[in-house]
Structure 1
Amino acid sequence: MIYDKKESLSSNPENDALTVNEPYKFYNGNRDFTSLEAWIKCRDVKLFFYQKILPLLPKEEKFNLDIQIRKAAISITSNISEGYGRFHYQEGIQYYRISRGSLFELKDHLISCYDIGYIHSEIKNEGEKLIESAKIIL
C-alpha cells in the first residue's frame, strides 16, 4: 500500500492525508487481505487455539473460557481483514490495534489454561511462540 495524496480515493480534500490506496500501476485485483503476512500469522494463531487448545477444555468451560477464546481468536483475523478494507489510513490502523489487543487477550487465556492445568508447558510454549511472531508483525 502506498500513501499518495495525488491519487486519493477520498472526495473530501481534508481527508486526503488520511487515505491509503494502491495507485493503478501497483494495483493487483487478485490481491487482498489474505496476502498480508500479519493476517497469515494471526490465522496460524487462530488455528492453533481451535485445534490444540479448545479440544482440551472440559465441558464446564464451554460457556466461559471456551467462548472467550473463540471470540478473541476470530477477532484477530477479522479485524485485520476489516481494517484492510477501509479507505482511510487511520481507520485501518484502529482495526489493527484491536487485532493486536485480541492477541494479548489470547496470550492471557493461554496462560490461564496452563495455570488451571488444562494444557501442558509444551503447548503453552508453542502458543506463546506463535503469538509473539504475530505480535512482531502486527
Structure 2
Amino acid sequence: MIDHMGIKVADFDRAKAFYDAAFAPLGASLLYMVPAEYTGGVKVGGYGRERPIYWLHEDKPAGGHSQHVAFTARNRAEVDAFYKAAIAAGGTDNGGPGLRTHYHPNYYGAFVFDPDGNNIEAVCHAPEGV
C-alpha cells in the first residue's frame, strides 16, 4: 500500500551514517540523492532495496513528534543484525530483538530510536527457521 515515505532529519550526514549502517543488514542502501539544484541545496536522499522508498529530507524535525516506521526483514537473523548495527551506529534501544506475540504469533521485531528520535523497527513475520 505504501509506495514511498519520507522523514525530516536535523543533520543529513549524521542520519545517513546511521541509516547506511542500520539498513545494510536488511539489504537496503542509499539509492538516490536528489540533485541540489532541485532542492535549493537541501540534502534529500532515498533508501531502498530495488528503488528508493524511504526518503531523508534535511530539515528541522517536528518537535515532540517522532515517526514510527517498520521495515521488513526477510528472516529473524536480519532483525538481529539490524538491531546490532543500528545500536553500533548511534541508535538508542527501544526494544531488542524478540517475539511480540501480542501482535501476531510470529511477529519478531526490534526497535531503535534513530539520532532524531524516530522509532525505527525491523520486523519478520516468518516462523522461526524460515
Which of the pair is proportionally richer in strand?
2
Same fold (TM > 0.5)? no
- Give the greater-gyration-radius structure (CA): 1
Question: Under TM normalisation by the shorter chain, which class is it?
Answer: 0.3 to 0.5
TM-score, normalised relative to structure 1: 0.31
Which of the pair is proportionally richer in helix?
1
TM-score, normalised relative to structure 2: 0.32
